[in-house]
Structure 1
């Protein structure tokens, strides 16, 4: 075999190899995307008890446009159901923190109680307010079970502001921002309960 024939054979093998690689990647791309969505969903939905719902809440967003509240803005929402009945609503909330916006995912059960809170984005000071992004987050978990009326409106504040809640160490502004966003979300849920739950509990 002469040199030209050898080069042609190598080139054909290279083209065939590239083509096979492209075909394999192209064929498996949907499965990879689906698996990545499931991983992302699990990371977001760990604010909900794992056996409390049987739908895919993130694939069924609520018809919420950006809603300006007293101290925060709602960016969107999702409904979790079990056997077709609403069990919880997840609200994406954005509130101004110390160094920038803080985005929270707030889970509220059908009776209006907080199930869990997770930080989705923040730019707070590392080792201080930045701890709000830790998961699991002991400080945020302390709000589980709270509702719009428990405590009363005046209680939704830091103890230093005559409220009922401790702050994260060294992070007064971040703590106030999160408390205000949670209270906003609970008020909104209470006022829009029927629409958020799909017309009934």
Structure 2
């Protein structure tokens, strides 16, 4: 093979390789954009489902686009607001506690008067068959929070029965429900402290 033919062959291979790289990059970019939209849509559906579990009833607004960011002991918290006729009737936000296996992340719905509409567990690492009874699919324990508030039971009774409170513990797994009870109580205290901001009733000039 002479030098001219070799150069032509090398140029063709370089061009072919470059074309393949461009086509591959374009395909990956298109796939990423397409799957990214699908992932965002799926995440929005999952979030709406989680919100609906602790926020029964019908509301006028889109909760996913009616939010406020507030500082809490656990860091910044996104508060989702549910309205009827423009008035905030309930809010939903996350709170977290510490169980046997680590962090337990909860989502809770609260009416404007501080009554719990519901609590659900978003994530945990508790022991299967023991601590996982905080999941509604495993037991009805989590429903014990429905209708509760900081005054019902009184603050000193917001504990498991082993600690002098009103909430059941699990046989062989007291740490898990204790962590959830404390997390929910802290969530109610967070609501009580920042109620005016959550409900959009903070007066101008207030801090």
* Range into which the TM-score falls when normalised by the shorter chain: 0.7 to 0.9
Q: How many residues align?
A: 188
Within 5 Å, which residues of 2 pair with 1:1-201? 32-33=38-39, 35-45=41-51, 46-52=53-59, 54-57=61-64, 59-67=65-73, 73=74, 75-82=76-83, 83-135=85-137, 138-199=140-201
Q: 1:29 to 1:150 in 2, by over 3 A?
A: same
The CA RMSD over aligned residues, in Å, is 3.2
How far 1:60 sits from its partner (Å)? 3.8
Kindly provide the CA deviation profile for residues 5-60 of structure 1, in whole angstroms up to 9, marking residues without a partner as x: xxxxxxxxxxxxx9998798578557634531442123321221142453223x44
C-alpha distance in 2 between matches for 1:25 and 1:155: 54
Flag structure 1 segments of 5+ consecutive residues without an equivalent. Answer: 1-17, 68-72
Provide the C-alpha distance between the structure 1 equivalents of 2:62 and 2:101, rounded to a whole number of angstroms: 36
Unaligned runs of 5+ in 2: 1-23, 203-207
Task: Report if aligned partners of 1:77, 1:89 keep a CA contact under 8 Å in 2.
Answer: no
Find the residue that maps to 1:64 and give its secondary structure. strand
Runs of 4+ in 1 over 3 A off after TM superposition: 18-31, 133-137
Q: Check conservation: 1:75, 1:94, Cα contact below 8 A.
A: no
SS in 1 for 2:61: coil
Higher alpha-carbon Rg: 2
Flag the 1:88–1:153 CA change in 2: closer, same or farther, 3 A: same
Distance 2:60 2:143 in 1: 20
Report how far residue 77 of structure 1 moved.
Answer: 2.8
Q: Is the 8 A contact 1:108 1:116 kept in 2?
A: yes
Question: Under a length normalisation based on structure 2, what TM-score does the superposition of the two structures give?
Answer: 0.73
Shift of 1:172: 0.6
Shift in CA distance, 95/32, structure 1 to aligned 2, threshold 3 Å? same
TM-score (ref. length: structure 1): 0.75
